[in-house]
Chains A and B, each alone.
Chain A
Amino acid sequence: MAMKHGRGVAAINYPTGMNLGGDPSQALVHSTPTGNFMVSLSSVDLGQGLKQVMAQICAETIGVPTECVTIDTADTDTGPHCMGTFASRGTHRVGNAVLQAAQEARQVMLEVAAEELEVNASDLETDGEGNIHVKGAPQKSISIFDTALAAHFKQGRSISGRGMFLVQRSYPDTETGAMKPATCYAHACVVADVEVDDETGEVTVQSVKNVYEVGRALNPKMVEQQLVGGSWMGISHALYETTEPYYPNRDHGGTDFNQYLMPGPGDLAETETYVLERPSSDGPYGAKGPGEMCANPQIPAVANAIFDAVGVRIDTMPITPERILRALRAKAAAGEGRTE
């Protein structure tokens, strides 16, 4: 018996979005009289932070600080259509819709400001802090607050915009399978270090070094929370989770978190995360969908590391101590067979 160390690598790509029936999301943006901006959506924030990243996309595009943008979402009376939050599509699809709506609203805002400043709208720019000024002449300026007041009370205009992003439905060719099931692809490569107890079959993931390429990290801290959580989930899939431990036998399924195994705080691997950014051509500010991608590469990396440690292949998920022990015994038996 011994604790055996092993190291494994895996590399993957992951598609952004779905196209089963087309992949639409829409957004509406309007300003209040105080120069703050409301984004109306029907997209759902699952806890991953969709609302925050949409506020940043809107703010960047209009040229205001993020705190001046409020996201009103997930109400079918007020929010325009969204396919839903899944398929790593939120940041990309909804973000594109918000970007387009914000561009239209910005254009109206600049037209209103141009009238107040008696210049051409094309000569104006925003400073990102709540002001609009003439390019090259920052003293000739108007605040976005005053611009909104002028729009609402003087010019009778709505500083608003509509955004739609639609990936057309792809019908796979029946014979060749030619299809466009997604748009841009995110990427990852993971190196996992494990220790396997060859007496008990238990695996400890010592460290994972995760390298992810996500297009653009629109809000790096939020990207980090996704990637670290995803990495944990990947390890959980690799070693622990199953609704039916003796699949396909239906018995003994978990009914709560005492019976459904996942790694606890003491099982956390030392996690290092590195992010590369290659902007996608079709994403908002180059974003791709990192949400699902980040939970996949740990699974094969851990499986490969286990082989490196103890020389057995477990080709069934999850890789439980029982499966490792059975494989080790089978290997030992086969080895004895050859020596006889």
Chain B
Amino acid sequence: MELRKNYFADERKDDLNEIGHSRPRSDAPGHVTGKTVYFADRTFPDLLHLKMVRSPHHHAKIRSIDTSEAEKHPGVIRVLTAKDVPHNVYTILILIQVGPEDETVLADKKVSWKGEAVVAVVATSERAAQEAAAKVKVDYEVLPAVFDVLEALKPDAPEVNEHHPGNYYHYDSGDHRKVRFGDVQAGFAAADHILEETYSSSPIEQAPTETTGCIVAPEGNDRFTCYTNTQAMFFTLDNASIILQMPGHKLHMVGGTVGGGFGGKVDVIVEPIAILAAKLTGRPVSFIYSREEEMQISSPRAAETITIKDGVTKDGRLIARQVTGYTDAGAYSRHSPYGAQKGAAHYPGPYTVPNVWIDTYCVYTNRTPSSAMRGFGVTIADFALEVQMDKLARLIGMDPLEFRFINAYRDGDMKAHRQPTEGAALIECMQEAARVSGWPVAQKYLDMSSRTREA
């Protein structure tokens, strides 16, 4: 890596004692010698292991659940079903009034995705828990399922989740989040070329080295310590408190160094049920995803489908942009409604477009619930936007990098979601990229600045 100190030198102090200096990480020796303690390195006497019975169907009614054989299995201490969970229907952000609560900790009436948790088995070994889980009998009535966002929005589509009629997330703005800026129809009318293209992605896995999990130990004073690799300690504490109807002071979350997250450990899935199991058994309980569960059960990045319609002048000005974005939330919200909303603000990209019309939809399907992942709400948008920019440049016969210089935002430009641009540096990044790659651009672009706009 090379620092390019010549850019913005007058805006910085480069003579600080600690900031701006490469110091070795204090935890690096522990990492490279294998001595760093992760949550699962802790051992407890009488530790119990929790395994989940999961739905084999994408969408089904639960007619009955029979746990009698599992309960008799050697080593099984307790079998948990929905009736054991004090507040079984939850959503992660309800503490800050983002609802509705739409997901069950343990399903009782219906499952809406393949892999949904139905029954938790707690036993003296992982193997006993696994074997007992296989003995739980769930009688399902399979329902029609929908896997595609556009199919899910059709009037006769199966209802994925009763809390989201029409399979949309309902914002205060209706079934989608809007951004309206300028007059997009006038922009298209004035354009020399219009290009409308659709982009899509499939879900991907965060793939942290350390799988999601926790170990809960009763403290003996009616408090529970939960050693967890969550990315958000108080999301976990608050949600466990709500789900278990336990006052917050009964809960103690201990985290620390985590073996990667990339957004996959922002949801609160393993901790509440493990705390409940520890409470009901009076013993420490471990609930750790296998690699297969991490790959198949944990929330992936949402699939997205994005249609971009742009109006551009023959001299390279992007003058109108209309975007329709669909985020596949899977069966439940988790954080997806926020991801779709974040995308709405992002779609003009780092460009100044005078006329913008954006609609983003968060849609429910019978797929694994998606949630946060590195670049949440933005990564797929950037793919779509920057491929679109390339196509636009070629459509008007302009160099792709020069086309971006013409449209790049500068300080003071108003963005479509009505925030003035501050601290812009796109032009300088492109100038440096042109230099280091030997990508030829006209001198006038190398003379530009993010701080000023030429008259």
A46 at the interface (CB under 8 A from B): yes
Please tell me if the beta carbons of A303 and B11 are within 8 angstroms of each other in the complex.
no
A139 at the interface (CB under 8 A from B): no
Interface hit among A81-89, A110-118, A154-162: A81-89
Q: Mark A119-140, 1 if CB is under 8 A from B, else 0.
A: 0000000001000000000000
Please tell me if the beta carbons of B386 and A10 are within 8 angstroms of each other in the complex.
yes
Q: Report the minimum CB–CB distance from B453 to chain A (whole Å).
A: 17
Q: Which residues on the B side are within 8 Å of A22 (C-beta)?
A: 96
Interface hit among B63-71, B78-86, B132-140, B418-426: B418-426
A11-B350, A279-B12 known; A250+B387 contact, CB < 8 A: no
Please tell me if the beta carbons of B379 and A60 are within 8 angstroms of each other in the complex.
no
**A248 closest partner in B (C-beta):** B147
A219-B21, A280-B423 known; A74+B254 contact, CB < 8 A: yes
Q: Mark B374-413, 1 if CB is under 8 A from A, else 0.
A: 1110111011111101110000000011001000110000
A177-B417, A211-B436 known; A55+B26 contact, CB < 8 A: yes
Please tell me if the beta carbons of A11 and B254 are within 8 angstroms of each other in the complex.
no
A224-B1, A274-B436 known; A189+B430 contact, CB < 8 A: yes
B341 at the interface (CB under 8 A from A): yes
Q: Report the minimum CB–CB distance from B16 to chain A (whole Å).
A: 6
**CA–CA, A22 and B401, complex, Å:** 37
In A89-109, the 8 Å CB interface with B consists of none
Please tell me if the beta carbons of A179 and B433 are within 8 angstroms of each other in the complex.
no
Q: Mark B349-374, 1 if CB is under 8 A from A, else 0.
A: 11000000010000001011000101
Please tell me if the beta carbons of A51 and B26 are within 8 angstroms of each other in the complex.
yes
Q: Which residues on the A side are within 8 Å of B232 (C-beta)?
A: 44, 82-86
A241-B205, A255-B292 known; A296+B382 contact, CB < 8 A: yes
A21-B93, A52-B23, A303-B383 known; A276+B234 contact, CB < 8 A: no
Please tell me if the beta carbons of A317 and B383 are within 8 angstroms of each other in the complex.
yes
B163 at the interface (CB under 8 A from A): no
In B251-293, the 8 Å CB interface with A consists of 251-263, 265-266, 291-292
Q: Which residues on the A side are within 8 Å of B221 (C-beta)?
A: none
Please tell me if the beta carbons of B426 and A187 are within 8 angstroms of each other in the complex.
yes
Q: Which residues on the A side are within 8 Å of B16 (C-beta)?
A: 60, 285
Q: Report the minimum CB–CB distance from B306 to chain A (whole Å).
A: 9
Q: How many contacts A-B (CB < 8 Å)?
A: 420
Which one, B2, B234, B292, B300, contacts A81 given CB within 8 A?
Answer: B234
Please tell me if the beta carbons of A84 and B390 are within 8 angstroms of each other in the complex.
no
Which one, A178, A243, A280, contacts B202 given CB within 8 A?
Answer: A243
**CA–CA, A273 and B17, complex, Å:** 24
A84-B233, A176-B180, A176-B181 known; A75+B253 contact, CB < 8 A: yes
Q: Report the minimum CB–CB distance from A26 to chain B (whole Å).
A: 10
Please tell me if the beta carbons of A313 and B419 are within 8 angstroms of each other in the complex.
no
Q: Which residues on the B side are within 8 Å of A169 (C-beta)?
A: 96
Please tell me if the beta carbons of A285 and B19 are within 8 angstroms of each other in the complex.
yes
Please tell me if the beta carbons of B207 and A275 are within 8 angstroms of each other in the complex.
no
**CA–CA, A218 and B251, complex, Å:** 35
B198 at the interface (CB under 8 A from A): yes
Interface hit among B40-48, B171-179, B185-193: B171-179
Please tell me if the beta carbons of B387 and A316 are within 8 angstroms of each other in the complex.
no
A235 at the interface (CB under 8 A from B): no
Q: Report the minimum CB–CB distance from B107 to chain A (whole Å).
A: 18
Q: Which residues on the A side are within 8 Å of B422 (C-beta)?
A: 184, 280-281
Which one, B203, B256, B404, B423, contacts A247 given CB within 8 A?
Answer: B203
**CA–CA, A22 and B428, complex, Å:** 32
Please tell me if the beta carbons of B22 and A219 are within 8 angstroms of each other in the complex.
yes
Q: Report the minimum CB–CB distance from A54 to chain B (whole Å).
A: 11
Q: Which residues on the B side are within 8 Å of A222 (C-beta)?
A: 22, 25
Please tell me if the beta carbons of B1 and A177 are within 8 angstroms of each other in the complex.
no
Please tell me if the beta carbons of B390 and A300 are within 8 angstroms of each other in the complex.
yes
Please tell me if the beta carbons of A315 and B200 are within 8 angstroms of each other in the complex.
yes
Q: Which residues on the B side are within 8 Å of A301 (C-beta)?
A: 386
Q: Which residues on the B side are within 8 Å of A85 (C-beta)?
A: 231-232, 261
In A1-56, the 8 Å CB interface with B consists of 7-15, 18, 20-22, 42-47, 49, 51-52, 55-56
**B229 closest partner in A (C-beta):** A44
Please tell me if the beta carbons of B231 and A300 are within 8 angstroms of each other in the complex.
no
Please tell me if the beta carbons of A295 and B379 are within 8 angstroms of each other in the complex.
yes
Q: Mark A281-307, 1 if CB is under 8 A from B, else 0.
A: 100011010011101110111011001
Please tell me if the beta carbons of A47 and B259 are within 8 angstroms of each other in the complex.
yes
**A301 closest partner in B (C-beta):** B386
B237 at the interface (CB under 8 A from A): yes
Please tell me if the beta carbons of A47 and B258 are within 8 angstroms of each other in the complex.
yes
**B266 closest partner in A (C-beta):** A86
Sample of 17 further A-B pairs with CB below 8 A, known A243-B295, A255-B292, A299-B379:
A12-B386, A52-B27, A56-B23, A66-B23, A74-B256, A176-B179, A177-B178, A177-B345, A185-B424, A211-B4, A212-B429, A213-B428, A219-B21, A248-B303, A275-B3, A277-B3, A317-B380
Point out residues on B near A: beta carbons under 8 Å: 1-5, 7-8, 11-12, 16-27, 58, 93, 95-98, 114, 147-148, 171-174, 177-181, 197-205, 207, 230-235, 237, 251-263, 265-266, 291-292, 295-296, 300, 303, 338, 341-342, 344-346, 349-350, 358, 365, 367-368, 372, 374-376, 378-380, 382-387, 389-391, 400-401, 404, 408-409, 416-419, 422-426, 428-430, 432-433, 436-437, 439, 450
**14 contacts across the A-B interface (CB closer than 8 A):** A9-B433, A15-B346, A47-B261, A51-B26, A172-B344, A179-B417, A230-B374, A276-B7, A278-B423, A280-B422, A295-B374, A296-B375, A316-B200, A317-B202
Point out residues on A near B: beta carbons under 8 Å: 7-15, 18, 20-22, 42-47, 49, 51-52, 55-57, 59-60, 63, 65-67, 73-77, 79, 81-87, 128, 169, 171-172, 174-182, 184-185, 187-191, 209, 211-213, 215-224, 227-228, 230, 233, 237-238, 241-245, 247-250, 253-257, 260, 262, 272-281, 285-286, 288, 291-293, 295-297, 299-301, 303-304, 307, 313, 315-318
